[in-house]
Protein backbone atom coordinates (compact mmCIF):
# COMPACT_ATOMS: atom_id res chain seq x y z
CA UNK A 1 0.00 0.00 0.00
CA UNK A 2 1.09 3.58 -0.57
CA UNK A 3 2.60 5.23 2.50
CA UNK A 4 1.35 8.81 2.97
CA UNK A 5 4.09 9.71 5.44
CA UNK A 6 7.18 11.84 4.83
CA UNK A 7 10.31 10.28 6.28
CA UNK A 8 12.11 12.02 9.19
CA UNK A 9 15.39 12.38 7.29
CA UNK A 10 13.66 14.54 4.68
CA UNK A 11 12.31 16.61 7.56
CA UNK A 12 15.76 17.02 9.10
CA UNK A 13 17.31 17.84 5.72
CA UNK A 14 14.93 20.78 5.35
CA UNK A 15 16.01 22.36 8.67
CA UNK A 16 18.93 24.34 10.06
CA UNK A 17 20.66 24.08 13.39
CA UNK A 18 20.69 27.00 15.84
CA UNK A 19 23.84 28.46 14.26
CA UNK A 20 22.43 28.30 10.73
CA UNK A 21 24.34 25.14 9.78
CA UNK A 22 22.30 22.51 7.90
CA UNK A 23 20.82 20.20 10.51
CA UNK A 24 21.74 17.13 8.48
CA UNK A 25 25.42 18.04 9.03
CA UNK A 26 24.94 18.35 12.79
CA UNK A 27 22.91 15.20 13.46
CA UNK A 28 25.38 12.29 13.41
CA UNK A 29 24.71 9.47 10.98
CA UNK A 30 24.02 7.01 13.79
CA UNK A 31 21.39 9.43 15.18
CA UNK A 32 19.80 9.83 11.76
CA UNK A 33 19.55 6.05 11.55
CA UNK A 34 17.90 5.85 14.97
CA UNK A 35 15.35 8.53 14.02
CA UNK A 36 14.64 6.88 10.70
CA UNK A 37 14.39 3.32 12.00
CA UNK A 38 12.35 4.21 15.07
CA UNK A 39 9.91 6.59 13.36
CA UNK A 40 9.72 5.23 9.83
CA UNK A 41 9.59 1.43 9.95
CA UNK A 42 6.24 -0.09 9.03
CA UNK A 43 4.42 -3.41 9.08
CA UNK A 44 2.94 -4.83 5.86
CA UNK A 45 -0.47 -3.35 6.75
CA UNK A 46 1.05 0.14 6.96
CA UNK A 47 1.00 0.32 10.76
CA UNK A 48 4.16 1.73 12.39
CA UNK A 49 6.21 -1.17 13.67
CA UNK A 50 7.33 0.57 16.87
CA UNK A 51 5.20 2.24 19.52
CA UNK A 52 7.89 2.19 22.23
CA UNK A 53 11.35 3.66 21.76
CA UNK A 54 14.13 3.51 24.37
CA UNK A 55 17.35 5.32 23.55
CA UNK A 56 20.26 5.59 25.99
CA UNK A 57 23.60 7.36 25.76
CA UNK A 58 25.89 9.15 28.16
CA UNK A 59 25.42 12.81 29.03
CA UNK A 60 26.05 15.43 26.32
CA UNK A 61 25.25 13.09 23.42
CA UNK A 62 22.18 14.95 22.11
CA UNK A 63 19.51 12.64 23.52
CA UNK A 64 17.19 15.56 24.33
CA UNK A 65 17.80 17.11 20.91
CA UNK A 66 16.70 13.92 19.19
CA UNK A 67 13.64 13.71 21.42
CA UNK A 68 12.66 17.26 20.45
CA UNK A 69 13.21 16.48 16.76
CA UNK A 70 11.07 13.34 17.04
CA UNK A 71 8.32 15.33 18.78
CA UNK A 72 8.37 18.13 16.16
CA UNK A 73 8.28 15.53 13.39
CA UNK A 74 5.25 13.87 14.92
CA UNK A 75 3.61 17.26 15.58
CA UNK A 76 4.09 18.80 12.13
CA UNK A 77 4.81 16.09 9.57
CA UNK A 78 3.03 12.94 10.66
CA UNK A 79 -0.37 12.34 9.07
CA UNK A 80 -2.38 10.74 11.84
CA UNK A 81 -5.40 8.57 11.16
CA UNK A 82 -7.35 9.66 14.24
CA UNK A 83 -7.97 12.89 16.15
CA UNK A 84 -5.05 15.35 15.90
CA UNK A 85 -1.35 15.54 16.59
CA UNK A 86 -1.27 15.95 20.38
CA UNK A 87 2.31 15.64 21.61
CA UNK A 88 3.74 15.73 25.13
CA UNK A 89 7.24 15.67 26.53
CA UNK A 90 7.63 14.74 30.19
CA UNK A 91 10.89 16.12 31.55
CA UNK A 92 12.61 14.84 34.68
CA UNK A 93 11.99 18.08 36.59
CA UNK A 94 10.94 21.69 36.12
CA UNK A 95 14.39 22.89 35.09
CA UNK A 96 14.71 20.23 32.43
CA UNK A 97 11.21 20.98 31.19
CA UNK A 98 12.23 24.60 30.68
CA UNK A 99 15.44 23.53 28.93
CA UNK A 100 13.51 21.24 26.56
CA UNK A 101 10.94 23.92 25.79
CA UNK A 102 13.70 26.48 25.22
CA UNK A 103 15.46 24.18 22.76
CA UNK A 104 12.23 23.57 20.86
CA UNK A 105 11.56 27.31 20.66
CA UNK A 106 15.11 28.01 19.46
CA UNK A 107 14.80 25.42 16.70
CA UNK A 108 11.54 27.02 15.58
CA UNK A 109 13.08 30.50 15.64
CA UNK A 110 16.00 29.28 13.51
CA UNK A 111 13.72 27.81 10.82
CA UNK A 112 11.12 29.81 8.90
CA UNK A 113 9.56 26.51 7.81
CA UNK A 114 8.71 25.72 11.43
CA UNK A 115 7.93 29.29 12.46
CA UNK A 116 5.29 29.60 9.76
CA UNK A 117 3.57 26.41 10.91
CA UNK A 118 3.24 27.01 14.65
CA UNK A 119 2.35 29.57 17.27
CA UNK A 120 4.77 29.64 20.17
CA UNK A 121 3.25 30.38 23.55
CA UNK A 122 4.80 30.40 27.00
CA UNK A 123 4.30 26.72 27.83
CA UNK A 124 3.03 25.20 24.61
CA UNK A 125 3.69 25.16 20.87
CA UNK A 126 0.51 24.99 18.77
CA UNK A 127 -0.05 24.23 15.12
CA UNK A 128 -1.59 27.24 13.40
CA UNK A 129 -4.18 25.02 11.72
CA UNK A 130 -5.37 23.86 15.15
CA UNK A 131 -4.55 20.22 14.49
CA UNK A 132 -2.14 19.64 17.33
CA UNK A 133 0.25 20.97 19.93
CA UNK A 134 3.48 20.18 21.75
CA UNK A 135 3.38 20.64 25.51
CA UNK A 136 6.33 20.05 27.79
CA UNK A 137 5.60 19.12 31.41
CA UNK A 138 7.54 18.17 34.54
CA UNK A 139 7.09 14.44 35.11
CA UNK A 140 6.08 15.00 38.74
CA UNK A 141 2.53 16.01 37.81
CA UNK A 142 1.19 12.45 37.59
CA UNK A 143 -2.38 13.34 38.52
CA UNK A 144 -2.55 15.99 35.80
CA UNK A 145 -1.50 13.56 33.07
CA UNK A 146 -4.12 10.86 33.65
CA UNK A 147 -6.54 10.20 30.82
CA UNK A 148 -4.76 12.22 28.14
CA UNK A 149 -4.87 10.90 24.59
CA UNK A 150 -1.93 11.66 22.37
CA UNK A 151 0.00 10.82 19.23
CA UNK A 152 3.42 11.13 20.88
CA UNK A 153 4.61 11.11 24.50
CA UNK A 154 8.31 11.60 25.12
CA UNK A 155 10.03 11.00 28.46
CA UNK A 156 13.30 12.86 28.89
CA UNK A 157 15.75 11.29 31.37
CA UNK A 158 13.92 8.64 33.38
CA UNK A 159 17.02 7.65 35.38
CA UNK A 160 15.40 8.94 38.58
CA UNK A 161 12.04 7.18 38.16
CA UNK A 162 11.30 4.68 40.93
CA UNK A 163 7.80 3.65 39.80
CA UNK A 164 5.79 3.08 36.65
CA UNK A 165 3.14 5.60 37.72
CA UNK A 166 3.80 8.21 35.04
CA UNK A 167 3.76 5.57 32.28
CA UNK A 168 0.48 4.20 33.59
CA UNK A 169 -0.97 7.72 33.65
CA UNK A 170 0.11 8.28 30.04
CA UNK A 171 -0.70 4.83 28.69
CA UNK A 172 -1.00 4.40 24.93
CA UNK A 173 -4.53 4.69 23.57
CA UNK A 174 -5.36 1.29 22.00
CA UNK A 175 -7.66 3.01 19.49
CA UNK A 176 -4.70 4.99 18.08
CA UNK A 177 -2.44 2.55 16.18
CA UNK A 178 0.20 5.23 15.55
CA UNK A 179 0.55 6.46 19.15
CA UNK A 180 4.12 6.27 20.49
CA UNK A 181 6.17 6.44 23.68
CA UNK A 182 9.72 7.75 23.18
CA UNK A 183 12.03 7.37 26.18
CA UNK A 184 15.53 8.74 26.48
CA UNK A 185 17.91 8.47 29.43
CA UNK A 186 21.33 7.72 30.75
CA UNK A 187 21.76 4.91 33.29
CA UNK A 188 19.50 4.66 36.30
CA UNK A 189 20.25 5.70 39.87
CA UNK A 190 18.25 2.69 41.00
CA UNK A 191 19.47 -0.49 39.36
CA UNK A 192 17.08 -3.26 40.35
CA UNK A 193 13.97 -5.07 39.09
CA UNK A 194 10.79 -3.03 39.35
CA UNK A 195 12.55 0.20 38.38
CA UNK A 196 11.27 1.32 34.94
CA UNK A 197 14.65 1.80 33.26
CA UNK A 198 16.01 -1.50 34.63
CA UNK A 199 12.94 -3.40 33.43
CA UNK A 200 12.86 -1.67 30.04
CA UNK A 201 16.54 -2.39 29.43
CA UNK A 202 16.04 -6.03 30.36
CA UNK A 203 13.20 -6.27 27.83
CA UNK A 204 15.26 -4.49 25.18
CA UNK A 205 18.23 -6.82 25.64
CA UNK A 206 16.01 -9.90 25.45
CA UNK A 207 14.31 -8.64 22.29
CA UNK A 208 10.97 -10.11 23.35
CA UNK A 209 8.85 -7.02 22.55
CA UNK A 210 8.47 -6.80 18.78
CA UNK A 211 7.06 -3.26 18.99
CA UNK A 212 9.95 -1.89 21.05
CA UNK A 213 12.89 -0.10 19.40
CA UNK A 214 15.93 -0.35 21.68
CA UNK A 215 19.11 1.70 21.21
CA UNK A 216 21.77 1.79 23.92
CA UNK A 217 25.34 3.07 24.15
CA UNK A 218 27.14 2.33 27.42
CA UNK A 219 30.67 1.66 28.61
CA UNK A 220 29.90 -2.04 28.95
CA UNK A 221 27.22 -2.61 26.30
CA UNK A 222 25.85 -1.22 23.06
CA UNK A 223 23.25 -2.25 20.51
CA UNK A 224 25.28 -0.65 17.71
CA UNK A 225 27.63 -3.06 15.93
CA UNK A 226 29.77 -0.13 14.74
CA UNK A 227 30.69 0.73 18.35
CA UNK A 228 30.99 -2.73 19.94
CA UNK A 229 34.78 -2.81 19.64
CA UNK A 230 35.26 0.82 20.71
CA UNK A 231 36.73 1.85 24.06
CA UNK A 232 34.19 2.24 26.89
CA UNK A 233 34.45 6.02 26.63
CA UNK A 234 33.70 6.06 22.88
CA UNK A 235 31.07 3.32 23.20
CA UNK A 236 29.11 5.41 25.71
CA UNK A 237 29.69 8.71 23.90
CA UNK A 238 29.08 8.11 20.18
CA UNK A 239 28.73 11.86 19.53
CA UNK A 240 31.99 12.88 21.20
CA UNK A 241 33.49 13.86 17.82
CA UNK A 242 31.06 16.80 17.75
CA UNK A 243 32.38 18.19 21.03
CA UNK A 244 35.70 19.36 19.53
CA UNK A 245 37.13 18.92 23.02
CA UNK A 246 39.43 15.90 23.34
CA UNK A 247 40.09 16.56 27.02
CA UNK A 248 36.47 16.82 28.16
CA UNK A 249 36.03 13.27 29.47
CA UNK A 250 39.37 13.27 31.30
CA UNK A 251 38.43 16.61 32.85
CA UNK A 252 35.13 15.14 34.05
CA UNK A 253 36.86 12.01 35.34
CA UNK A 254 39.23 14.20 37.39
CA UNK A 255 36.46 16.42 38.76
CA UNK A 256 33.66 13.96 39.53
CA UNK A 257 33.44 11.13 42.06
CA UNK A 258 33.97 7.86 40.23
CA UNK A 259 30.38 6.66 40.68
CA UNK A 260 29.03 9.89 39.17
CA UNK A 261 31.49 9.77 36.29
CA UNK A 262 30.51 6.17 35.56
CA UNK A 263 26.81 6.96 35.45
CA UNK A 264 26.92 10.32 33.65
CA UNK A 265 29.73 9.74 31.18
CA UNK A 266 30.05 5.95 30.81
CA UNK A 267 26.29 5.37 31.03
CA UNK A 268 26.74 2.66 33.67
CA UNK A 269 24.07 2.17 36.35
CA UNK A 270 24.23 3.31 39.95
CA UNK A 271 24.44 0.96 42.89
CA UNK A 272 21.47 -1.28 43.72
CA UNK A 273 19.96 -1.39 47.18
CA UNK A 274 21.86 -3.70 49.52
CA UNK A 275 25.10 -3.31 47.57
CA UNK A 276 27.89 -5.54 48.79
CA UNK A 277 30.72 -3.19 47.78
CA UNK A 278 31.15 0.56 47.68
CA UNK A 279 32.06 2.50 44.55
CA UNK A 280 35.12 4.05 46.16
CA UNK A 281 36.43 0.65 47.25
CA UNK A 282 36.22 -0.83 43.78
CA UNK A 283 37.52 2.33 42.11
CA UNK A 284 40.56 2.36 44.38
CA UNK A 285 41.31 -1.27 43.50
CA UNK A 286 41.31 -0.68 39.72
CA UNK A 287 44.42 0.39 37.82
CA UNK A 288 42.78 2.69 35.28
CA UNK A 289 43.86 2.23 31.69
CA UNK A 290 45.35 -1.21 32.31
CA UNK A 291 43.36 -3.87 30.42
CA UNK A 292 45.71 -6.85 30.88
CA UNK A 293 49.21 -7.73 32.04
CA UNK A 294 51.33 -10.06 29.90
CA UNK A 295 53.00 -13.09 31.47
CA UNK A 296 56.43 -12.58 33.03
CA UNK A 297 59.18 -14.77 34.49
CA UNK A 298 59.58 -15.95 37.22
CA UNK A 299 55.99 -15.17 38.22
CA UNK A 300 53.63 -17.93 39.39
CA UNK A 301 50.06 -17.46 38.10
CA UNK A 302 46.70 -18.85 39.22
CA UNK A 303 43.54 -19.26 37.15
CA UNK A 304 39.84 -19.45 38.00
CA UNK A 305 36.98 -20.07 35.57
CA UNK A 306 33.26 -19.42 35.78
CA UNK A 307 31.99 -21.80 33.14
CA UNK A 308 28.64 -21.75 31.37
CA UNK A 309 26.64 -24.17 29.28
CA UNK A 310 26.54 -21.39 26.69
CA UNK A 311 22.82 -20.64 26.60
CA UNK A 312 22.62 -17.30 28.41
CA UNK A 313 25.59 -16.63 30.71
CA UNK A 314 29.16 -15.85 29.72
CA UNK A 315 32.02 -18.20 30.49
CA UNK A 316 34.90 -16.25 32.04
CA UNK A 317 38.52 -16.88 32.92
CA UNK A 318 40.58 -14.76 35.33
CA UNK A 319 44.32 -15.10 35.93
CA UNK A 320 46.18 -13.48 38.84
CA UNK A 321 49.45 -13.58 40.76
CA UNK A 322 50.92 -12.37 44.06
CA UNK A 323 53.46 -9.54 43.88
CA UNK A 324 56.46 -9.04 46.14
CA UNK A 325 54.40 -7.00 48.62
CA UNK A 326 51.79 -9.74 48.96
CA UNK A 327 49.03 -8.15 46.87
CA UNK A 328 46.86 -10.15 44.48
CA UNK A 329 47.44 -8.71 41.01
CA UNK A 330 44.81 -9.45 38.36
CA UNK A 331 46.54 -10.09 35.03
CA UNK A 332 43.89 -11.23 32.59
CA UNK A 333 40.11 -11.46 32.33
CA UNK A 334 38.47 -12.87 29.21
CA UNK A 335 35.17 -14.39 28.21
CA UNK A 336 34.35 -16.93 25.52
CA UNK A 337 34.31 -14.34 22.70
CA UNK A 338 31.00 -14.49 20.84
CA UNK A 339 27.92 -13.68 22.94
CA UNK A 340 25.56 -16.42 24.13
CA UNK A 341 24.49 -18.80 22.80
CA UNK A 342 27.91 -20.38 22.19
CA UNK A 343 29.61 -23.77 22.31
CA UNK A 344 31.26 -24.09 25.76
CA UNK A 345 33.92 -26.42 24.36
CA UNK A 346 35.08 -23.59 22.12
CA UNK A 347 35.46 -21.48 25.25
CA UNK A 348 37.49 -24.23 26.93
CA UNK A 349 39.86 -24.36 23.95
CA UNK A 350 40.35 -20.57 24.13
CA UNK A 351 40.84 -20.62 27.91
CA UNK A 352 43.35 -23.48 27.73
CA UNK A 353 45.48 -21.57 25.24
CA UNK A 354 45.55 -18.46 27.44
CA UNK A 355 46.25 -20.47 30.61
CA UNK A 356 49.28 -22.05 28.94
CA UNK A 357 50.56 -18.60 27.96
CA UNK A 358 50.76 -17.91 31.72
CA UNK A 359 52.21 -21.37 32.45
CA UNK A 360 49.07 -22.39 34.31
CA UNK A 361 48.20 -26.08 33.92
CA UNK A 362 45.63 -26.35 36.69
CA UNK A 363 42.52 -24.16 36.90
CA UNK A 364 39.83 -23.89 39.58
CA UNK A 365 36.07 -23.58 39.06
CA UNK A 366 32.76 -24.47 40.66
CA UNK A 367 31.54 -28.01 41.20
CA UNK A 368 28.79 -27.92 38.55
CA UNK A 369 31.18 -26.87 35.82
CA UNK A 370 33.79 -29.26 37.12
CA UNK A 371 31.60 -32.30 36.70
CA UNK A 372 30.48 -31.14 33.25
CA UNK A 373 33.71 -29.93 31.70
CA UNK A 374 36.51 -31.64 33.65
CA UNK A 375 37.37 -34.03 30.82
CA UNK A 376 37.24 -31.27 28.20
CA UNK A 377 39.85 -29.25 30.08
CA UNK A 378 41.98 -32.35 30.64
CA UNK A 379 42.00 -33.08 26.89
CA UNK A 380 43.48 -29.60 26.40
CA UNK A 381 46.23 -30.27 28.95
CA UNK A 382 44.58 -28.41 31.85
CA UNK A 383 43.56 -30.07 35.12
CA UNK A 384 40.22 -28.72 36.40
CA UNK A 385 40.02 -28.55 40.19
CA UNK A 386 36.72 -28.02 41.95
CA UNK A 387 36.58 -25.06 44.32
CA UNK A 388 35.72 -25.89 47.92
CA UNK A 389 34.66 -22.27 48.51
CA UNK A 390 31.20 -21.00 47.58
CA UNK A 391 30.67 -18.02 45.32
CA UNK A 392 29.28 -15.94 48.18
CA UNK A 393 32.30 -16.80 50.34
CA UNK A 394 34.61 -15.67 47.53
CA UNK A 395 32.80 -12.33 47.39
CA UNK A 396 32.88 -11.93 51.16
CA UNK A 397 36.60 -12.69 51.22
CA UNK A 398 37.28 -10.13 48.49
CA UNK A 399 35.74 -7.16 50.33
CA UNK A 400 38.29 -6.82 53.20
CA UNK A 401 41.17 -7.46 50.81
CA UNK A 402 40.05 -4.60 48.56
CA UNK A 403 39.54 -2.38 51.59
CA UNK A 404 43.07 -3.12 52.74
CA UNK A 405 44.57 -2.38 49.32
CA UNK A 406 45.62 -6.01 48.88
CA UNK A 407 44.02 -6.38 45.44
CA UNK A 408 44.89 -4.63 42.18
CA UNK A 409 42.29 -5.11 39.44
CA UNK A 410 42.23 -4.41 35.72
CA UNK A 411 40.19 -1.69 34.04
CA UNK A 412 37.43 -3.95 32.63
CA UNK A 413 34.03 -2.18 32.52
CA UNK A 414 31.96 -5.38 32.58
CA UNK A 415 33.86 -6.67 35.59
CA UNK A 416 33.51 -3.33 37.36
CA UNK A 417 29.79 -3.13 36.60
CA UNK A 418 29.19 -6.66 37.88
CA UNK A 419 31.15 -6.06 41.09
CA UNK A 420 29.19 -2.87 41.72
CA UNK A 421 25.96 -4.75 41.06
CA UNK A 422 26.51 -7.44 43.71
CA UNK A 423 24.04 -7.33 46.59
CA UNK A 424 23.37 -8.99 49.91
CA UNK A 425 20.54 -11.51 49.59
CA UNK A 426 19.93 -12.70 53.12
CA UNK A 427 23.32 -13.78 54.44
CA UNK A 428 24.84 -14.32 50.98
CA UNK A 429 26.30 -12.06 48.31
CA UNK A 430 24.93 -12.62 44.81
CA UNK A 431 23.84 -10.74 41.69
CA UNK A 432 20.32 -9.26 41.44
CA UNK A 433 17.69 -11.25 39.58
CA UNK A 434 18.14 -10.89 35.84
CA UNK A 435 21.76 -9.69 36.17
CA UNK A 436 25.07 -11.54 35.68
CA UNK A 437 28.24 -12.02 37.72
CA UNK A 438 30.40 -14.20 35.47
CA UNK A 439 33.32 -11.76 35.36
CA UNK A 440 32.98 -10.91 39.05
CA UNK A 441 32.99 -14.56 40.10
CA UNK A 442 36.07 -15.41 38.04
CA UNK A 443 37.95 -12.39 39.41
CA UNK A 444 36.98 -13.09 43.03
CA UNK A 445 38.04 -16.73 42.58
CA UNK A 446 41.41 -15.85 41.05
CA UNK A 447 42.30 -13.31 43.74
CA UNK A 448 41.18 -15.73 46.48
CA UNK A 449 43.39 -18.45 45.02
CA UNK A 450 46.38 -16.13 45.09
CA UNK A 451 45.87 -14.74 48.58
CA UNK A 452 44.72 -17.86 50.38
CA UNK A 453 46.32 -20.84 48.63
CA UNK A 454 49.71 -19.77 47.29
CA UNK A 455 52.82 -20.94 49.10
CA UNK A 456 56.18 -20.53 47.44
CA UNK A 457 58.19 -23.75 47.24
CA UNK A 458 61.25 -24.89 45.37
CA UNK A 459 58.93 -26.75 43.03
CA UNK A 460 57.07 -23.49 42.28
CA UNK A 461 60.29 -21.82 41.17
CA UNK A 462 61.02 -24.71 38.84
CA UNK A 463 57.48 -24.70 37.43
CA UNK A 464 57.81 -21.30 35.80
CA UNK A 465 60.78 -22.42 33.74
CA UNK A 466 59.86 -26.03 33.00
CA UNK A 467 56.15 -26.85 32.52
CA UNK A 468 57.09 -30.52 32.10
CA UNK A 469 57.56 -30.69 35.87
CA UNK A 470 53.92 -29.84 36.48
CA UNK A 471 52.96 -33.22 37.97
CA UNK A 472 55.93 -33.05 40.31
CA UNK A 473 54.98 -29.54 41.38
CA UNK A 474 51.37 -30.54 42.06
CA UNK A 475 52.64 -33.13 44.54
CA UNK A 476 54.37 -30.43 46.58
CA UNK A 477 51.76 -27.73 46.21
CA UNK A 478 49.62 -27.19 49.31
CA UNK A 479 46.00 -26.18 49.34
CA UNK A 480 44.89 -28.22 46.29
Q: What is the pLDDT of residues 10-56, one digit of tens each?
A: 999 999 999 999 999 999 999 999 999 999 999 998 899 999 999 99
pLDDT at 135: 93
pLDDT at 139: 67
Instruction: Write down the H helix ranges in 171-314.
Output: 196-206, 232-236, 248-255, 258-265, 279-285
234-256 average pLDDT score: 92
307-316 average pLDDT score: 87
Q: What is the DSSP letter of 266?
A: S
Query: Of 63, 35, 421, which Cα lies nearest the Cα of 220?
Result: 421
- For residue 458, the surrounding DSSP H or E stretch is helix 458-463
366-390 average pLDDT score: 86
Q: What does residue 250 show for φ and ψ, rounded to 5 degrees? A: -65, -40
pLDDT at 283: 83
289-303 average pLDDT score: 94
pLDDT at 476: 39
Most confident of 80-94, 127-141, 264-278, 321-335: 321-335
pLDDT digits 0-9 by tens, 426-456 = 899 998 777 789 999 999 999 999 998 643 3
Q: What does residue 48 show for φ and ψ, rounded to 5 degrees? A: -60, 135
pLDDT at 146: 63
- Is 70 exceeded by the pLDDT of residue 140? no
pLDDT at 189: 72
78-87 average pLDDT score: 88
pLDDT at 2: 62
- Is 80 exceeded by the pLDDT of residue 380? yes
- Is 80 exceeded by the pLDDT of residue 215? yes
Dihedral sign for Cα atoms in the order 398, 399, 403, 409: positive
Q: How many helices (H) and strands (E) would you count in the chain? A: 19, 16
Q: What percent of the chain has pLDDT over 70?
A: 91
How far is 279 from 154, CA to CA, in rounded Å? 32
pLDDT band at 460 (very low <50, low <70, confident <90, very high): very low
Rg (CA), the chain: 26
106-118 average pLDDT score: 96
Determine how β-strand 180-185 pairs with β-strand 362-365. unpaired
Q: What percent of the chain has pLDDT over 90?
A: 65
Q: Strand, helix or coil at 288?
A: coil
- Is 70 exceeded by the pLDDT of residue 268? yes
- Is 60 exceeded by the pLDDT of residue 232? yes
22 forms beta bridges with 16
Q: Which domains are assigned to the chain? A: 8-258 (3.40.50.300), 276-472 (3.30.420.240)
Mean of pLDDT over the chain: 88
Q: Strand, helix or coil at 209?
A: coil
How far is 107 from 295, CA to CA, in rounded Å? 56
pLDDT at 185: 95
Instruction: Write down the H helix ranges in 14-150.
Output: 23-26, 29-39, 63-76, 94-109, 112-115
308-337 average pLDDT score: 93
- For residue 156, the surrounding DSSP H or E stretch is strand 152-156
- For residue 440, the surrounding DSSP H or E stretch is helix 438-453
pLDDT at 370: 62
204-226 average pLDDT score: 95
Look at 371 and 366; give whichever has higher pLDDT.
366
How far is 143 from 393, CA to CA, in rounded Å? 47
pLDDT at 147: 64
- Least trusted range by pLDDT, from 82-91, 255-264, 394-403: 255-264
Query: Of 366, 449, 442, 465, which Cα lies nearest the Cα of 401?
Result: 449
pLDDT at 430: 93
pLDDT at 479: 38
144-156 average pLDDT score: 83
- Is 50 exceeded by the pLDDT of residue 323? yes
pLDDT at 82: 75
- Is 90 exceeded by the pLDDT of residue 400? yes
pLDDT at 68: 97
Query: Of 107, 96, 90, which Cα lies nearest the Cα of 181?
Result: 90
- Is 70 exceeded by the pLDDT of residue 376? yes
**HSE of 336, CA atoms in CB hemisphere, 13 A:** 22
- For residue 125, the surrounding DSSP H or E stretch is strand 124-127
pLDDT at 1: 45
57-72 average pLDDT score: 96
How far is 307 from 374, CA to CA, in rounded Å? 11
- Is 60 exceeded by the pLDDT of residue 477? no
pLDDT at 51: 97
Amino acid sequence: MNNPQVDPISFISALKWLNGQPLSEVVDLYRQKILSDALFTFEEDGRPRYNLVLTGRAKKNFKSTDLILAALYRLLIWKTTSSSNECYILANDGDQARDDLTLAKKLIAANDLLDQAVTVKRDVIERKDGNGFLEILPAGDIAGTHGKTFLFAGFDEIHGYKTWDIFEALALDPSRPDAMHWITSYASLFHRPGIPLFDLMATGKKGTDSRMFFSWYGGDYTTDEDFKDATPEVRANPSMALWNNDGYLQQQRNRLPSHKFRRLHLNLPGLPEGSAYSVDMIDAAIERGCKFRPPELPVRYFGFVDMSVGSSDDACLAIAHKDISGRAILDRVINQGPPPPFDPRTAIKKFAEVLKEYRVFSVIGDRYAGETFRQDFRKKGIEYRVSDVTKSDLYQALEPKMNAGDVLLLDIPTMESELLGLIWRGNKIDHPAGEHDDYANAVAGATYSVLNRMQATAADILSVTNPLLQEFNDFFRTGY
